[in-house]
Amino acid sequence: MARVKGSIGSETKAAILSTALPLIAQYGYAAVSMRQIAEAVGVNVSALYNHFPNKQQILVRLLMDHMDGLMAAWSEQISRGQAAEQLEAFTRFHIRFHIEKPQAVFISYMELRSLEDDGHKKIESQRRAYEDVLRQIIRDGINTGEFNTPDAHVAAMSIIASLTGVNTWFSADGRLSQKQIEDNYVDLTLRSVGYETKGKSYV
Amino acid sequence: MARVKGSIGSETKAAILSTALPLIAQYGYAAVSMRQIAEAVGVNVSALYNHFPNKQQILVRLLMDHMDGLMAAWSEQISRGQAAEQLEAFTRFHIRFHIEKPQAVFISYMELRSLEDDGHKKIESQRRAYEDVLRQIIRDGINTGEFNTPDAHVAAMSIIASLTGVNTWFSADGRLSQKQIEDNYVDLTLRSVGYETKGKSYV
DNA sequence: TAATTAAATGAACGTTCGTTCTTATAATAT
DNA sequence: ATATTATAAGAACGAACGTTCATTTAATTA
C-alpha cells in the first residue's frame, strides 16, 4: 500500500510518542518492540522510521519532553516568600506533577540506564538543574535560620526521593485524597529540615 | 563436549546468580540475554537450563533471595527501647543494607514489573511485610506521643522512599562518609515524624 | 566395578528483533 | 497541470532471542 488518506506526519509522530509512553512504562524500554508500538499506533513498523531515526530516539524524546515539561511547569509556578513557603510550594508542585504524569516519571527514573551517551548526559543535566532548585531553597532556609538541617544536599536528595515515591503507591481511589496526601507531605517535609511548625499542623 | 572436570552444580548455580545480578542491574532484565549471562559465567547457554528452568526464574530467585536476606538481616538486628530508638535503628539498618547491596536493591525496585503473576505476588508480600515493620514503629511512636505525624502509613512510605533513594547517589568516595550520611538521615527521619530532638543534633 | 545421575557442550528450532529498501499514493509546491 | 515531497505499506535483511535436543563424560550411587 501507500500513503493513506488524511495522514499527517506531525500527528503520527505525536501518536507514536503518546502510545510508546505507557507501553514503555509498563514493560520497559528493552521489552517493548517497534512492532508493538506500531501496532498500537495503527501503522506499519516501517512507518515509525519516517518520524524517528531509530528506537532509541523515541525514548530520548520522551524523556527530554518530560524534563522540559517539568522545568517549564516549575517556571510558571510563581513562589515568593520565605524559604518555608517556597519549600511548601515545591512539595505541592512536585507531588502534583508526579501524580499527573506517573508514566513519564516512571520511565525517566527507570530508563536512564537505557540511554546512550548523548541523551544520557542531557537528561542527567536537566535532572540536576531541577534538583538545584530544591537545594537552593534549602540553602536559603538554612542561611535565614528558618531551617535546621546539617546538609542542604542530603536534605534535598532525601526530600526528592520521598516525594517521588508517592508515584509508586498513590491511587486516586485510595483512602486519602490527593490534597490530604499533599498536606501530609508538606508536614513531613518541613519538619524534616527542622522547620519549627510551632504546633501548627499542615493537615 | 561434555561435563567438564571439577564442575559442581551448586557452584555453577551460584555463579549464574551472582553474575546475572550486576548484568540485570546495569542493563535491565529484558535487555540481558541468556547468552550474555552464560558467557559472563563462562559456560554455554544451554548449561543455564541445568540450573534454572527458564530466564524468568533467575530473576525470581534473585529477588526472593534479596527480600529473604533483607528480612533475615532485620530479624537479627535487636532493637529495644522507645519508638525513636527503633526508628533510628531502622534508619541506620535500611541505609546500610541498601548501600551494601545496591544492585539487588535496584533490580528489586525496577524489575518487579518484569515478574509474572506468582513471583510478583510473593515479592510484593515480602515487601509489604518489610514496610509493616516501619509502619508499626511509627504507630507505636504516635501512640506513646513520641511522634507527631498525621498518618503512619504516609510517613512510612515517605521514609522508605527517602532512605532507599540514598542508593541512587551514594558514592563511597564522595564528600560524605557513610556514617555522616547515616547520621544525617537519622536527623531528617526523626524530625520528619515530629520527634522533638530538643536541640540535640544527630550529626 | 557397574549403573546411574549430574553437568556440561554444540547444533539446531522457530520466533522475534531493529532496521532498510522498494514502491505507491496523498499532499503540497511550482 | 505538473513536479516534488511527505507519508505510508510490505517484503525482506541478517542478527539475536529463549529454549530444546542429542551427546559426552565426570561424579556419585548401588
Instruction: Give the model's pLDDT for residue A3.
Output: 76
Answer whether A112 touches B (CB < 8 Å).
no
Which CATH code for domain B8-52?
1.10.10.60
Instruction: Give the model's pLDDT for residue A198.
Output: 54
Per-residue pLDDT of B59-108, as tens digits, reads 999 999 999 999 999 999 877 889 999 999 999 999 999 999 999 999 99
**CA-to-CA distance for A191 and A8, rounded, in angstroms?**
52
Per-residue pLDDT of A118-132, as tens digits, reads 889 999 999 999 999
**CA-to-CA distance for B77 and B70, rounded, in angstroms?**
11
Instruction: Give the model's pLDDT for residue A113.
Output: 85
Instruction: Give the model's pLDDT for residue B1.
Output: 63
Side-chain-side CA neighbours of residue A87 (13 Å): 29
**Average pLDDT over chain A, rounded to whole?**
92
Instruction: Give the model's pLDDT for residue A187.
Output: 97
C-alpha cell at A155: 536534605
Q: Which nucleotide is nearest to B7 if distance is taken from CA to C1'?
A: C7
What one-letter code names the amino acid at A83? A
Instruction: Give the model's pLDDT for residue A15.
Output: 97
Answer whether A142 touches B (CB < 8 Å).
no
Per-residue pLDDT of A162-196, as tens digits, reads 999 999 899 888 999 999 999 999 999 999 999 98
- Asked if pLDDT for residue A199 goes beyond 60, the answer is no
Helix (H, G, I), strand (E, B) or coil at A137: helix
Percent of chain B with pLDDT over 90: 79
What are phi and psi for residue A146, nearest 5 degrees? -65, -40
Q: Which of A150, A176, A183 sits opposite B187 (nearest CB)?
A: A150
DSSP assignment of chain B? --PPTT--HHHHHHHHHHHHHHHHHHH-TTTS-HHHHHHHHTS-GGGGGGT-SSHHHHHHHHHHHHHHHHHHHHHH----SSHHHHHHHHHHHHHHHHHH-HHHHHHHHHSGGGS-HHHHHHHHHHHHHHHHHHHHHHHHHHHHTS---S-HHHHHHHHHHHHHTHHHH--TTSSS-HHHHHHHHHHHHHHHTT---TT----
Higher pLDDT, B196 or B18: B18
Per-residue pLDDT of A42-94, as tens digits, reads 999 999 999 999 999 999 999 999 999 999 999 998 778 899 999 999 999 99
C-alpha cell at A82: 520565605
Are B107 and B29 in contact by the 8 Å Cβ rule? The answer is: yes
Instruction: Give the model's pLDDT for residue B4.
Output: 80
Per-residue pLDDT of B26-54, as tens digits, reads 999 999 999 999 999 999 999 999 999 99
Instruction: Give the model's pLDDT for residue B9.
Output: 79
Put simply, whether the predicted model's pTM sits higher than 0.85 gets the answer yes
Within 7 Å of a protein beta carbon, the nucleotides of strand C are 6-12, 16-27
**In the block, residue with C-alpha cell 507531588:** A95
Instruction: Give the model's pLDDT for residue A49.
Output: 97
Where do the structural domains in chain B lie, given as residue ranges?
8-52, 56-192
Give the confidence band of B6 by pLDDT, cuts at 50, 70, 90: confident
Instruction: Give the model's pLDDT for residue B200.
Output: 53
Q: Which nucleotide is nearest to B6 if distance is taken from CA to C1'?
A: D26
Percent of chain A with pLDDT over 70: 97
What one-letter code names the amino acid at B52? F
Are B91 and B163 in contact by the 8 Å Cβ rule? The answer is: yes
- Asked if pLDDT for residue B198 goes beyond 70, the answer is no
Q: Which of A29, A150, A181 sits opposite B184 (nearest CB)?
A: A150
DSSP annotation of A4 reads P
**CA-to-CA distance for A159 and B132, rounded, in angstroms?**
21
- Asked if pLDDT for residue A201 goes beyond 80, the answer is no
Instruction: Give the model's pLDDT for residue A200.
Output: 53
Instruction: Give the model's pLDDT for residue A109.
Output: 87
In Å, how far are A103, A137, A140, B161 from A96, measured between CA atoms? Answer: 13, 19, 24, 17
Instruction: Give the model's pLDDT for residue A162.
Output: 98
**In the block, residue with C-alpha cell 504524569:** A101
Q: Which overall architecture, per CATH, does domain A1-52 show?
A: Orthogonal Bundle (1.10)
Fold of A56-192: Tetracycline Repressor; domain 2 (1.10.357)
- Asked if pLDDT for residue A142 goes beyond 90, the answer is yes
Answer whether A103 touches B (CB < 8 Å).
no
